Amino acid sequence: MRTPGVCRGHSTRELSSNDQIPSEGTVTFVSGTGEVAVNVAANKPASEISTFPGHNAGLANDGSFDNKNAGNRGVCSHTNEPPVAGVRTWWQVDLEACYDISSVIITTSVDCCADRLHDFDVDVYDKDPEMYPDATAQRCYHYVGSIPTGATEDLVCENRPIRGRVVRVTNAPGYVLSLCEVQVMAVP
Ligand SMILES: [Ca+2]
């Protein structure tokens, strides 16, 4: 019996002549077989360990790259204050289907909190780890240091592509987590 919300199997395919090539700027990975990666995270269900009022998780995958004056305007996700010593804050998105994920692109705030995102992990799960404690994580990327303030960085998964449906960003212990946009690049 199939379990809802769980990845099964593995599939890859080559592009056919009928495939639509994504518009310029959305492609970050083309495999040797011609597979093209596109963002599959936009407006999918997002959640975070806690929410600072007005900074809900969905702001990090709403398709808007607005990242200016983020602390006051509520254009980026932000976990609650104050941060708790030893606790690793997280943000995640459920892609609502299984994808072969090649990279995760993160955009940080220009003027608030970006420096608090450092030494973090990007993991891919076969199912929601909040709903299924036995969900297995595969490491996409371990980031050493901080993404520069206001920058957009493409974190290419080690051992890509990684098959999964939930992508989670987990920060270093004891810091809030604020993300302005997260794109999950995968073979559709
Ligand atoms: Ca956004």
Per-residue confidence (pLDDT) for residue 72, from 0 to 100: 74
Would you say residue 29 lies in a domain? no
Burial (Cβ within 10 Å: 0-12, 13-18, ≥19) of residue 3 = exposed
Would you say residue 169 lies in a domain? yes
Specify whether the CB–CB gap between 135 and 126 falls below 8 A. Answer: yes
Q: Which of 115, 111, 125 is nearest to 177 (CA)?
A: 115
Q: Which domain holds residue 175?
A: 38-187
User: 3 CA distance to ligand 1 centroid (A)?
Assistant: 31
CATH of the domain at 85: 2.60.120.260
Would you say residue 27 lies in a domain? no
Q: Which of 165, 63, 179, 56 is nearest to 114 (CA)?
A: 179
Q: How many angstroms separate the CA atoms of 102 and 79, rounded? A: 26
* Protein residues near ligand 1, an ion, with CB under 5 A: 62, 64, 181
Average model confidence (pLDDT) for the chain?
85
Would you say residue 8 lies in a domain? no
pLDDT band at 24 (very low <50, low <70, confident <90, very high): very low
User: 59 CA distance to ligand 1 centroid (A)?
Assistant: 5
Q: Structure pTM?
A: 0.85
pLDDT per position as a tens digit, 146-174:
988 899 999 999 888 999 999 999 999 99
Specify whether the CB–CB gap between 37 and 51 falls below 8 A. Answer: no
User: 61 CA distance to ligand 1 centroid (A)?
Assistant: 5
User: 62 CA distance to ligand 1 centroid (A)?
Assistant: 5
Residue 117 has pLDDT above 90, yes or no: yes
